[in-house]
Amino acid sequence: MTTSTILFPTAAFISALFLLDLGADRFITHTAALAKRIGVSPTLIALLTAGAEWEELAVVIAAMSQGRSSLALGNILGSSISNILGAFSLGWLFQAGEGGYDRSAKIYAAMMLGFTTVFVGLGFLGALGRVVGGGLLVGFAAYVGSVGWYIYKGVMKAPEDSDSDDGDDGSEGASDSDSDDGEDRDAEQASGHNDSSRSHENPSMEETTPLIDGRLSTGATNTKPAGPGKPQHSTLYHLAQLIFGFLALSLSGYILSRSISAIADAYSLSDTVLGITVLAFATTLPEKLLAVYSSSRAQPGIMVANTAGSNIFLMTLCAGVLFLSGDVEELSRGLETFDLVATWVSAVILAVIVMLGGRRWMGVVLLVLYLGFIGAEFVFAARKRKDTP
């Protein structure tokens, strides 16, 4: 094994991570902007963009296309564990004092534990075929529908985007989706400023006269133009950016799976091990950053919603696609009891913390458990390689 054998796939892996983040950001930002243009429900947009692991799905599909179904399975299991023991633990480390969670966070945690229990149970039973894959996709549709209904009724809060929005293109894409809100706020401020003059001109108007899209219910229109610094983009622009994001996701997923497979072959490690450890850790970095940000802003509910939502996405849509199109025999060989138990236990830990309330020291414990899990994966892999003739 030469140095170049490792350096090139490692460099490709790191480069692909940046492309993956860029592609996910473009895809999510412009999908939301385009959906709002054509009148799609904001709740549905939130569910399918924020708290969703589209980059993980890209990696899963790319791994399957190369005949590496075990790598895709390892990425699903590892990402679900990393979201809890890695990202959630970091969030608690930056959370000052004790904390509790609202009803929305508890519902998300309970749903995640339910989906995880079903997934792990199917793994123990060896039910990894096409029928199960279709059932998981139905479960994903049911999740989106039920959570969308609860959010619409005000029972739950929608998750927030876990991808960075500081990029130039992200701010441009968001400008269109924010412009209407900005105009509404400007209209409300203007109406409040000139409320007394309007009431003198029209005595029938009270302070509670409603404003709808900047127009008075009496028919007067507000022709205030959009504020400066928020350029409007055409639908074709958003569509082109969405396609660019999709292509970037596809290319980065292909490079990630190829490079991690090359590293696995060089060190004689299984795809499942590297998928659970290295690949899963790298692709869940946005969730870790969001957890730190949410905790520092005293928003633990957002942290739970995104962690639980991401794991449900992994256990339903990503796993459903994998079971429908992947190599069933390879998947059966790649499943390890230790990995399934670790996946379920991490979900139980999150649910218990959310239901009973958390402490800052719990973040330290979870992080230690995650480091121990990573170490145990490599130890078991080394023993397995030694026992293999």
Greater confidence, 298 or 134?
Answer: 134
Average pLDDT over residues 156-179: 52
Structure tokens at 76: 């699903």
Q: How far apart are CA 89 and CA 50, in angstroms?
A: 20
What is the C-alpha to C-alpha distance for residues 304 and 108, in angstroms, rounded to an integer? 7
**E strand intervals along the chain:** 211-212, 215-216
Tokens of 161: 């985007």
The larger pLDDT score, comparing residue 299 to residue 5, is at 5
For the whole prediction, is pTM greater than 0.85?
Answer: no
- Taking only the tens place, the pLDDT of each residue in 202-213 is 444 444 444 334
**Per-residue pLDDT at 293:** 64
Average model confidence (pLDDT) for the chain? 75
Question: Could you write out the DSSP letters of every residue in 201-251?
Answer: H-TT--TT--EETTEETTS----PPPPTT-----HHHHHHHHHHHHHHHHH
Residues 6+ apart with CB under 8 A from 337: 124
Which residues, in sequence order, are CB contacts of 367 under 8 Å at separation 6+? Answer: 85, 86, 89, 90, 93
pLDDT digits (tens, 9 = 90+) for 299-310: 666 778 778 888
- Which amino acid type is present at position 224? K
Residue 370: which pLDDT band, with cuts at 50, 70 and 90?
Answer: very high
Q: Which of 97-101, 137-141, 180-184 has the lowest mean pLDDT?
A: 180-184
> DSSP state, 358?
B
